[in-house]
Structure 1
Amino acid sequence: MSQVAIVGYGRFGRALGSLLEAAGIGYRALDPVADIPEAHRANSFQELVAGTELIVVAVPVPRMQAVLENLLPHLRPEQLVLDVGSVKVKPVHALNAVLGTRVPWVGTHPLFGPLSLAMAERPLRVVVCPNPLHPNAARQARAFFERLGCEIIEQTPEGHDRIMAHTHALTFFVAKGMLDAGSGVDVPFAPASFKALSRTIETIRADAGHLFAAIQHDNPFAAEARSHLLGALGAIHQELEAIPPEAEAPETPHLELPALETGLPELTETRELIDQVDRELVELLARRAELARRALQAKAQAGQPVPDPAREEAMVASRRAWAAERGLDPEGVEAIFRAVLRFSRRAQHTKG
């Protein structure tokens, strides 16, 4: 694939462009209100799609049908059109209504965004919705995203939106409520149980209004999911209010853990938690390796030398200080980070 066309150069369109460049795939983009680099800018639909095999429509769901109608006169039957919306029922309906059997199309949802790409989170996953009208479309979409380093999940539009309503939409709904209520804002500490939700709150801040509105209003199953959640929370609230203040706290079921041969369930639990932390460390190392490769590319483009001893020594010094603040051995932490730096140097010259 030599060239991809992107209709819409908002936050995700730009992020997709960076993925294409990293994969060595050329692209052109069209967006009347976005600042597109001149090397990638198209000035009309005709210029955009000329010589391209794949067209990515990255516009808000309410605008999709109108954009497809403007795009249709310039498309050829051998091209493939796909959308990248965070909901699927409505985009697939628009694709079918406008393109039908005339031009191959497929609905997709990359389960990542600009923030997760900036933080080098892996793996990158994409939902692809097979299209009975164009049986090869899903296969072509799969090959395209796999070339970008993505893992593929196949799902129907309705199945996708139901799952997203009870996961993505509800998570953002709860996080938005906590954000508006001022929960966890500018606190000097927070329990570990809050950290994952705190990350979602920061994503809400970054995507203010745009992504939140899309996953709530454009998903036909989101309102039902919100209603069920509010009903469950209301019932829990009433149950808690009904407990007299002087009453003992009600017992809660305990999580049963399998005992080891030693008969020490605490040891089993601790070992499982260590395994969980180690898995998280490996995932963080994978993200750091990707960021190291990105830094190498940036240095090469800027003509800067790759080795930077002063920067590395400053990093080590700051990590020693962090260790001291947490009551850890600075010498031991320094040894770990010097090993991480050696790992990162090797990772810069290997493909992720």
Structure 2
Amino acid sequence: MTVAIVGFGRFGRALGSLLDAAGIGYRAVDPTADIPEPHRAGSLQGLLTGAEQVVVAVPVPRMKSVLEELSPHLKPEQLVLDVGSVKVKPVQAMSEVLGTRVPWVGTHPLFGPLSLAMAERPLRVVICPNPLHPEAARQARAFFERLGCEIIEQTPEGHDRVMAHTHALTFFVAKGMVDAGSGVDVPFAPASFKALSRTIDIVRSDAGHLFTAIQHENPFAHEARRHLLQALGTIHQELETIPPEAATSDTPRMELPALETGLPELKETREHIDQLDRELVELLARRAELARRAIRAKAEAGQPVPDPAREDEVIATRRTWATELGLDPDGVESIFRAVLRFSRRAQHSQG
């Protein structure tokens, strides 16, 4: 299989790394990006020659014009995929430009360069089946599954409605916090802020066109933002009615959605442990992927795989962390020696 990537920005480059890891050849074209020589195409015709999949990884507002430029060079045996974070408008553009002549399908990889760099798993992709080309979704599924992705099928409208109330609102709130200076260079922060702080970092690092596309190209984002602002305004007004002293039983209380109550303490604790253990297993999966990535980098650089000095440094650092948190450093060392053995097995099993 050979893949043609149109647009080698942050996601196009990240997709290239996934293709490399899967042993799939690719070529890319982007007049503004630095594309590695082995993968650089000199023209659209050179890009598309022999390519089975054509991935259009350009900002959503440019989608139609890029498709119009590609269209004369595309062949009916090729499959065109978009990877935009909204789906209604890209699907409409592909329908208008490519129609029934060239197979196409709208897709949205629910991961980005940061999640790939952190080896987060699972990698999920939304695919919007195309009634004009019934086989296109099956081919797209096979392509992404070869990259190790899980597939979710959804209509373009269904996708954008979900994204409006999740992706768009998350970025909207995070952008507001960025502009308000929240969480910038603070000496400490509560645990409840950690997940949100990562989203803030993503908003800071992402290109401006991504935020704009999420908010303006999604036809349902405006309604979602309006409902959120109304809800926040109501909460704000309720808070304003509570007097500053607010300590008596007569003080009006805000009604929050009821959480499940009555769980025995032991059962509740065990549920928290199960949830935490699940997170630990997911972290081990990410660590294993990073270990495999490290062994590939060593092989390319001609460096020996065993690195006793690095392992000694890892153990010493983890013992220090354990001491700082009031844990038994010997116990933590035993855990991390087991983790290192696990990582070595993971390296050899897929190295």
If the length of structure 2 is used for normalisation, what is the TM-score?
Answer: 0.96
Match of 1:279 in 2: 278
Match of 2:182 in 1: 183
The answer to whether structure 1 residue 202 and structure 2 residue 185 are counterparts is no
User: For residue 260 of structure 2, what is the amino acid of its counterpart?
Assistant: E
Match of 1:70 in 2: 69
| 1:158 Cα offset (Å) | 0.5
**C-alpha distance in structure 1 between counterparts of 2:60 and 2:203, whole Å:** 19
**C-alpha distance in structure 2 between counterparts of 1:156 and 1:96, whole Å:** 14
**C-alpha distance in structure 2 between counterparts of 1:278 and 1:175, whole Å:** 29
- Report the 3-state secondary structure (helix = DSSP H, G, I; strand = E; otherwise coil) of the residue aligned with 1:349: helix
| 1:350 Cα offset (Å) | 2.0
The answer to whether structure 1 residue 255 and structure 2 residue 259 are counterparts is yes
**Runs (5+) with no aligned partner, structure 2:** none
- Report the 3-state secondary structure (helix = DSSP H, G, I; strand = E; otherwise coil) of the residue aligned with 1:100: coil
- Deviation track 1:51-70 (CA, whole Å, cap 9, x = no partner) reads 11110000011111111111
Match of 1:226 in 2: 225
User: For residue 213 of structure 1, what is the amino acid of its counterpart?
Assistant: T
In 2, are the aligned partners of 1:53 and 1:79 still within 8 Å (CA)?
Answer: yes
Match of 1:262 in 2: none
Match of 1:288 in 2: 287
In 1, are the aligned partners of 2:238 and 2:254 still within 8 Å (CA)?
Answer: no
User: For residue 167 of structure 1, what is the amino acid of its counterpart?
Assistant: T
In 2, are the aligned partners of 1:257 and 1:269 still within 8 Å (CA)?
Answer: no
Taking the TM superposition and a 5 Å limit, the aligned residue runs for 1:1-352 are 2-247=1-246, 248=248, 250=253, 255-257=259-261, 259=263, 265-351=264-350
If the length of structure 1 is used for normalisation, what is the TM-score?
Answer: 0.96
**C-alpha distance in structure 2 between counterparts of 1:131 and 1:199, whole Å:** 35
In 2, are the aligned partners of 1:30 and 1:45 still within 8 Å (CA)?
Answer: yes
| 1:3 Cα offset (Å) | 0.5
User: For residue 98 of structure 2, what is the amino acid of its counterpart?
Assistant: L
| 1:214 Cα offset (Å) | 1.5
**C-alpha distance in structure 2 between counterparts of 1:44 and 1:340, whole Å:** 47
**C-alpha distance in structure 1 between counterparts of 2:89 and 2:55, whole Å:** 16
- Report the 3-state secondary structure (helix = DSSP H, G, I; strand = E; otherwise coil) of the residue aligned with 2:349: coil
**C-alpha distance in structure 2 between counterparts of 1:328 and 1:22, whole Å:** 38
Aligned CA distance change for structure 1 residues 146 and 204 (closer, same or farther; 3 Å): same
| 1:252 Cα offset (Å) | 5.2
- Report the 3-state secondary structure (helix = DSSP H, G, I; strand = E; otherwise coil) of the residue aligned with 2:134: coil
CA RMSD of aligned residues (A): 1.3
- Deviation track 1:243-301 (CA, whole Å, cap 9, x = no partner) reads 22234352756533454xxxxx2222211111111111001000000000000000000
Please identify runs of 4+ aligned residues in structure 1 that moved more than 4 A: 251-254
In 1, are the aligned partners of 2:98 and 2:104 still within 8 Å (CA)?
Answer: yes
| 1:341 Cα offset (Å) | 0.5
| 1:189 Cα offset (Å) | 2.1
In 2, are the aligned partners of 1:257 and 1:268 still within 8 Å (CA)?
Answer: no
**C-alpha distance in structure 1 between counterparts of 2:184 and 2:74, whole Å:** 49
Q: Which moved more, 1:169-178 or 1:248-257?
A: 248-257
In 2, are the aligned partners of 1:258 and 1:268 still within 8 Å (CA)?
Answer: no
User: For residue 125 of structure 2, what is the amino acid of its counterpart?
Assistant: V
Counting aligned pairs with the same residue, the percent is: 81
Q: Which moved more, 1:22-31 or 1:203-212?
A: 203-212
**C-alpha distance in structure 2 between counterparts of 1:237 and 1:206, whole Å:** 30
**C-alpha distance in structure 2 between counterparts of 1:47 and 1:276, whole Å:** 50
- Report the 3-state secondary structure (helix = DSSP H, G, I; strand = E; otherwise coil) of the residue aligned with 2:133: coil
**C-alpha distance in structure 1 between counterparts of 2:350 and 2:262, whole Å:** 40
User: For residue 21 of structure 2, what is the amino acid of its counterpart?
Assistant: A
In 1, are the aligned partners of 2:61 and 2:213 still within 8 Å (CA)?
Answer: no
| 1:147 Cα offset (Å) | 0.4
